[in-house]
Chain A
Amino acid sequence: DTQMTQSPSSLSASVGDRVTITCRASQSINTYLNWYHQQPGKAPKLLIYATSTLQRGVPSRFSGRPSGTDFTLTISSLQPEDFGVYYCQQSHTAPWTFGQGTRVDIK
């Protein structure tokens, strides 16, 4: 299975801050990397697919890009509704696998 490793595991940031989360795959996944946001008690929500394509309706403050062998999710200006856990997921080779999650708290 392809192992996905996220960093950091958690972070605390202020409204308006720029936040970056990194995801690394244990083997090549091309650009088949997706990002989700999950708020407490809710289902995950797809933010970005295929590394950098914004899902319809997702605010433009979210962006994704490759970074060498890693992938990054950036929130350009953190908003209060952005708290929760962010997961990366590879859809290159089944079984699909997720990162362990990055918890984002609002200071």
Chain B
Amino acid sequence: QVQLQESGPGLVKPSETLSLTCTVSGDSITGYHWSWVRQPPGGGLEWIGYIYYNGVTNYNPSLKSRLTISVDLSKNQFSLKLGSVTAADTADYYCARDRRGANYFYGMDVWGQGTTVTVSS
């Protein structure tokens, strides 16, 4: 079955760029939307944004000015870059498959295990 795995540095310095990759295995990345979600320590879930396999993106306006999500079909991966990070960006970051039906989305049905990113000097 499809599995997702996040990878990237666990420690990022303030003002630098946070970069994560999600590798999709067990199925093709083609045909689906793929989301990033984060969760600060002890906090709730925040949707970061999604990318369709053809590169179309939708970002959370609260992060849009610092955010880039991209896809690499050849590697069956999609990636997140968040610039100018501060301590407020410290969180567990999850990648997830975001299901879309004919007209709307129907939840994120497959998730990676998550990766912890700490922003600190």
Q: A residues touching B (Cβ–Cβ < 8 Å)?
A: 1, 30, 32, 34, 36, 42-46, 49-50, 53, 55, 87, 89, 91-92, 94-101
Q: Give the nearest-CB partner of B37 in chain A.
A: A44
- Minimal beta-carbon separation of B3 from chain A (angstroms): 11
Q: B residues touching A (Cβ–Cβ < 8 Å)?
A: 35, 37, 44-47, 49, 58-62, 94, 96, 99, 104-109, 111-114
Chain B residue numbers with a CB within 8 Å of A98 are: 44-47
Given A43-B94, A89-B45, A98-B45, A34 contacting B60 (CB threshold 8 A): no
Number of A-B residue pairs, CB cutoff 8 Å, is 68
The answer to whether A96 and B47 have CB atoms under 8 Å apart is: yes
Give complex CA distance A42, B45 in Å: 13
Give complex CA distance A5, B87 in Å: 26
Chain B residue numbers with a CB within 8 Å of A36 are: 45, 107-108
Cβ-neighbour of A101 out of B44, B99, B108 (below 8 A): B44
The answer to whether B104 and A92 have CB atoms under 8 Å apart is: yes
Q: Give the nearest-CB partner of B60 in chain A.
A: A95
Chain B residue numbers with a CB within 8 Å of A55 are: 107, 109
Give complex CA distance A49, B61 in Å: 24
| 14 CB < 8 A contacts A-B | A30-B104, A34-B106, A43-B111, A43-B114, A46-B108, A49-B109, A50-B106, A89-B45, A95-B49, A95-B59, A96-B47, A98-B45, A98-B46, A99-B44
- Minimal beta-carbon separation of B41 from chain A (angstroms): 12
The answer to whether A49 and B107 have CB atoms under 8 Å apart is: yes
Give complex CA distance A94, B45 in Å: 15
Q: Give the nearest-CB partner of B63 in chain A.
A: A95
- Minimal beta-carbon separation of A38 from chain B (angstroms): 8
- Minimal beta-carbon separation of A54 from chain B (angstroms): 11
The residue among A43, A89, A92 with the most chain B CB atoms within 10 A of its own CB is A43
The answer to whether B106 and A49 have CB atoms under 8 Å apart is: yes
